[in-house]
Structure 1
Amino acid sequence: MTTLWPQGLPRTLDYPDGTVADLLAGAAHAYPDRAALIDGDERLTFAELHERALRVAQGLRERGIVPGEAVAVHMPNSIWFTVAYYGILLAGAAVVPVNPTQPPLALRRQLDDSGTVAVFTHPSVAGLMAESLENSEAVRLVCLAPATAAAPAGDRAPAAFPVATVAFDDLMKAEMAPATVVDGDAVAHLAFTGGTTGVPKAVRVLHRNLFRNVLQVACWRSAALPHADAEGRVTLRHVTEAQTPHHIPIGAATGISIAPLFHGMGMVSQSVFVASGLTVVVFGRFDAVRYLDTIEQLGVHAVTGSPALCHAILAVPDVRERDLSCVRLVSSGSAPINPAAAAELAEVFPNAVVSDGYGLTEATMGVAISPLDRSMPRPAGSTGLVLFDTEVEIREPDGVTPVTPGGRGELWVRGPQVTDGYLGHPELTAEQYVDGWLRTGDLGTLAPDGWLSLVGRAKDMLIYKGYNVYPGPLENLLREHPAVAQASVVGRPHPEHGEIPVAFVSLKAEAGASATADDLIAYVAERVAPYQRIRDVVIVEELPLSATGKILKTELRKRAADS
């Protein structure tokens, strides 16, 4: 039984009927003149964001897009990504977010698999889209968005598309019309993920999944409860006794986020920010110095990103000389952040709570988040408490038997954010979605008082001489070494021992930050049982990262096997 819970917040939410369209309408009504998005010199108020999205929705309808059809967003982060996203949803269509940098063959596969009929793209990546559409029988419309400060056009030649094309500005010339009313069981996102199997496939995120997960996260982040007015517009109201200086004040804060909007964390967070009336600075290609400059200049309240972004911030030489006292919330997601990095962030942002979180695309986005209350200090290594109306069980590999209390096992999740399965993959859906529960493929522990901790992916665990070795704790130990910037541990096949733990490590650039492979092997050996010791260390300039900031362990396993 969970005993810990943020003071003043209920354990369950009273969810209004609605979709994220009602959240956008609520924000436009509650704070119409407040800036919703800032992209260089371009700004959109909440009222303007709602208006532009309604016009895009009508422009899509006029060009034959009907409710239930799939529309892809193939764009880098920009102010127009968000407008396109809401326009698609307000037209009753499903959003297909795709990585704008992937090669044409991979892009075409995702367009075909999702049944995409229209695409929003951008000058910097339009050539990739044009190539992927050759001989396409499904896509019948392309909308080209303008360049912005966050997403410049680059020097690529204009693309010629083999299907009908419309400029974004022309799409927004449509007359405003009400949003298409959709049922909660309609598909909102077809979000691609490798998931627990590694095979890219589209997750069916329903409108009720999206709406409720947005409210779960937004109410947690703002210490609030949802409210629907007589017109069905949904806003948040603070629970006064639950508020701390670290919660996002509704309609009164600025945030900055670098998370890719095509990724679940970035895409769903758009609506979390809208629900809380947060002004969001749209940030393009990441530059740690410029990122810190922006925080200081705008007095940013909340910063979000991946552990890789956090490590990049900590690596800025003068980071401890800056005035970052305005920041009250540092939110890390997409992968667990290790305790050593969290401690350093707490030094750099002296007035902030460093909040970790856990989620996955199959659960829309969020499952657990650490409380924003300093009277509830988070145990080292914990990712937080499970959100409102959400259950987590830790089970043995058979997927049925619960582990002993506090023991390690595989996480199973049940809650309103658990999605409808994989599009076109009934066999995989049946394996991962069982009796209302989602098998996550993640390994962790659940303490009796409710703290959830992760130790890695089930597929990342390695077996050395019959012992289970979990990479997560070893990576955290390595990161505690004063010379280590980042670390990742994988298994290397061994003829006698099964697998041996191999660490890939990047070192800090600052003066005096040096260590040899032998130094690091000895450092870990002094702190773990013999079977857990690192057997080899490979020092690299940098670790390979995905577009969302996750370390590419598949690539590291290949390197380990070949060395």
Structure 2
Amino acid sequence: MNPRRPKGMPDTLDYPPGVCVGDILAGAARRHPDRTALLDGSAALTYAELYDRALRCAQGLRERGIRPGDVVALHQPNSLWFSVTYYGILLAGATAAPMNPTLPPATLREQLDEVSAVAAITHPATAEALLAAGTERLRPVVVVTGTDIAPAPDGSASPGTVPLDDLLAAEPVEGPRADPESIAHLSFTGGTTGRSKAVMVLHRHVVHNVLQFTCWRTGALPAVDEHGGIRTELVPGAQTAAMAPSGDGVSVGISPLFHAMGLISQSNAVLAGQTVLLAGRFHPHRYLKLVEDHGATHVTGSPALLHALIAAADGRSFPGVRTVNSGAAPIDTTTLEALRALFPNAAVVEGYGLTEATMGLVTGLVDLDDQVPVGSAGLPVFDTEIEIRDPAGPGKALPAGETGELWARGPQITAGYLGHPELTAEQYADGWLRTGDIARQDEHGHVFVVDRLKDMLIYKGYNVYPGALEELLTRHPAVDQACVIGAPSASAGEIPVAYVVVRPPAASGPVLAEELMDHVAARVAPYQKVREIHFVDSLPTSAAGKILKTELRRRHRSAGLH
């Protein structure tokens, strides 16, 4: 199978050798020195300033004993200082370990121990949790300053910590490049199916994945400047109206930077020379105001976020937006139609990936005249192979159109789980990554992600995929969101149970529940029917916007429903 590519683009990229993540920022700083890189309320950094601050941070860390290979925890909410300190850690030759700033101290301590962190960078609003987790071996503990989107609480000074300004007082020294085979960051998995694990993401993995997605979405090829900085060069005739050339475009940054999607997306924006509007804590009306006030051209978010934007728009449209990028879960048909009304000139580009693949494996085409089929996450990006294999016999590849487990191979596949060789061996085999997701691929290479393998339920011996039932439920005019889980049943093994958020002014209750079950039953085989409907005000989601089915199952058990 030879999957199709964006028009005018080759099947493979020529990746520059010997480069590291810091070279992405260095190249952008030389190419777009005066362009605003980050806008955090009233504060802003140009690309030259971002690189300068990152170099100062790197030297400040070196002066405080941080050596190549040391692990520095990043424990802070989104702000412009997150990017400064992430690149600063990497430019110092150290390894960054981003951690969810909302974790309770006990869990935070587990993650600090898991990665053997020797230092940490935190924020006034989150420092208390870090200190409570125990910082006796963390030297230094650096505290950034508050910003408009991540303000510092009153009286937030923490004893024994180092202000970031002290690090930034160092000279901006360009040190030696990091080894492309060294670990750039340790990225914790989302933990949606169990305890989070630290994935080893090497510098070359980040560089390759950033180039795969940026070149795909801008119609460009990799290049380096005279000093070894990474840049891209446009391919004549490969651009579409939805694409932005290097040094153009304004995107709204909402994804948590401690998560793989947000972390890699920031380097995508840097390589493309975009201005990123940091949105902080999500509020749909504020988000849309940022889009309107700053002429945003690129919008990114999970389906849950996009649902909220549609509801908050109140009939308005935003014709200046060129692309809407979505990940975390498939967009249902009803939401897709609403998005195209909200952003009438935008290509809605879905994608698929996971932390173990650095960030992304599959994405749609940034072309209003050549969209991928509805329901597809897109095509494998450059140099990425996808195989659909029989879950019962993982060595057997299935033909186009058949449903099985998705396996992937490419230069972005990471080095496995830190300290867990047995888990690594289960998920990584002969260069291939076993994703644990159920999917199919058509004859043109389009990938359709059906469900998590662990979310599939078995009703009387039949495989039932919740994603298909969720799609049917959201097509009903009374349904805003839906999630289907498998609930234990003595007679059937498992039954499909739906949790539903209704769309106003629909009234939840037994009548609507019966109507929704009939709506699904009329469109599926008898063994696929939804057997129960439970109405909720909202569905639990992770920081990345994924619906937490494990939490729904826990609530279901706690309620004694099964």
TM range (shorter): over 0.9
Partner of 2:483: 488
How much does 1:180 deviate?
A: 3.4
Partner of 1:62: 63
1:231 is matched with which residue: 221, 227, 242?
227
Moved over 3 A (4+): 194-197, 511-515
* Structure 1 counterpart of 2:455, one-letter code: D
Partner of 1:530: 526
Aligned ranges 1:422-433 → 2 under 5 Å: 422-433=417-428
Partner of 1:102: 103
Residues 10-41 of structure 1 show CA distances to partners (whole Å, capped at 9, x for unaligned) of 11001112112111111111110000000011
Partner of 2:547: 551
The percent of aligned pairs where both chains have the same amino acid is 53
Partner of 1:8: 8
How much does 1:159 deviate?
A: 5.8
How much does 1:195 deviate?
A: 6.4
Partner of 1:80: 81
Contact 1:362 1:418 in 2 (8 A): yes
1:410 is matched with which residue: 388, 402, 405?
405
2:335 is matched with which residue: 336, 341, 344?
341
Q: What stretches of structure 2 of length at least 5 have no aligned partner? A: none
How much does 1:249 deviate?
A: 2.2
Contact 1:196 1:441 in 2 (8 A): no
Correspondence 1:298 to 2:294:
yes
**More displaced 10-residue stretch of structure 1: 182-191 or 51-60:** 182-191
Contact 1:487 1:506 in 2 (8 A): yes
1:375 is matched with which residue: 365, 369, 373?
369
How much does 1:139 deviate?
A: 1.7
Partner of 1:394: 388
Q: Secondary structure at the match of 1:226?
A: strand
Question: What CA distance in whole angstroms lies between the structure 2 residues aligned with 1:467 and 1:98?
Answer: 40
* Structure 2 counterpart of 1:296, one-letter code: E
Residues 265-319 of structure 1 show CA distances to partners (whole Å, capped at 9, x for unaligned) of 000111000000000001111110111111111111101111111011111151x
Residues 313-336 of structure 1 show CA distances to partners (whole Å, capped at 9, x for unaligned) of 111151x224x0000100001222
Please report the RMSD computed on the Cα atoms of aligned residues, expressed in angstroms: 1.5
* Structure 2 counterpart of 1:211, one-letter code: V
* Structure 1 counterpart of 2:245, one-letter code: P
State the TM-score, normalizing by the size of structure 1.
Answer: 0.96
Question: What CA distance in whole angstroms lies between the structure 2 residues aligned with 1:221 and 1:119?
Answer: 34
Gap change, CA 1:196 and 1:536, over 3 Å in 2: closer
How much does 1:338 deviate?
A: 1.9
Partner of 1:517: 513
Partner of 2:174: 178
Question: What CA distance in whole angstroms lies between the structure 2 residues aligned with 1:514 and 1:313?
Answer: 23
How much does 1:197 deviate?
A: 6.1
How much does 1:89 deviate?
A: 0.6
Q: What stretches of structure 1 of length at least 5 have no aligned partner? A: none
* Structure 2 counterpart of 1:49, one-letter code: L
**More displaced 10-residue stretch of structure 1: 28-37 or 189-198:** 189-198
Question: What CA distance in whole angstroms lies between the structure 1 residues aligned with 2:419 and 2:537?
Answer: 41
Partner of 2:206: 210
Partner of 2:197: 201
Q: Secondary structure at the match of 1:485?
A: strand
Contact 1:130 1:159 in 2 (8 A): no
* Structure 2 counterpart of 1:444, one-letter code: A
Question: What CA distance in whole angstroms lies between the structure 2 residues aligned with 1:292 and 1:195?
Answer: 30
Question: What CA distance in whole angstroms lies between the structure 2 residues aligned with 1:189 and 1:317?
Answer: 37
* Structure 2 counterpart of 1:443, one-letter code: I
**More displaced 10-residue stretch of structure 1: 174-183 or 81-90:** 174-183
Contact 1:390 1:413 in 2 (8 A): yes
How much does 1:514 deviate?
A: 6.3
Contact 2:181 2:202 in 1 (8 A): yes
Question: What CA distance in whole angstroms lies between the structure 1 residues aligned with 2:39 and 2:526?
Answer: 53
Q: Secondary structure at the match of 1:53?
A: helix
Contact 1:248 1:302 in 2 (8 A): no
Partner of 1:500: 495
How much does 1:240 deviate?
A: 2.7
* Structure 2 counterpart of 1:141, one-letter code: P
Q: Secondary structure at the match of 1:220?
A: helix
Partner of 2:216: 220
1:312 is matched with which residue: 301, 308, 312?
308
Contact 2:285 2:313 in 1 (8 A): no
Q: Secondary structure at the match of 1:400?
A: strand
Contact 1:384 1:451 in 2 (8 A): yes
Q: Secondary structure at the match of 2:395?
A: coil
Question: What CA distance in whole angstroms lies between the structure 2 residues aligned with 1:104 and 1:30?
Answer: 42
Contact 2:240 2:366 in 1 (8 A): yes
How much does 1:50 deviate?
A: 0.3
Q: Secondary structure at the match of 2:226?
A: coil
Give the total of aligned pairs: 555
* Structure 1 counterpart of 2:260, one-letter code: G
* Structure 1 counterpart of 2:525, one-letter code: A
Contact 1:525 1:534 in 2 (8 A): yes
1:354 is matched with which residue: 332, 348, 351?
348
Question: What CA distance in whole angstroms lies between the structure 1 residues aligned with 2:493 and 2:537?
Answer: 29
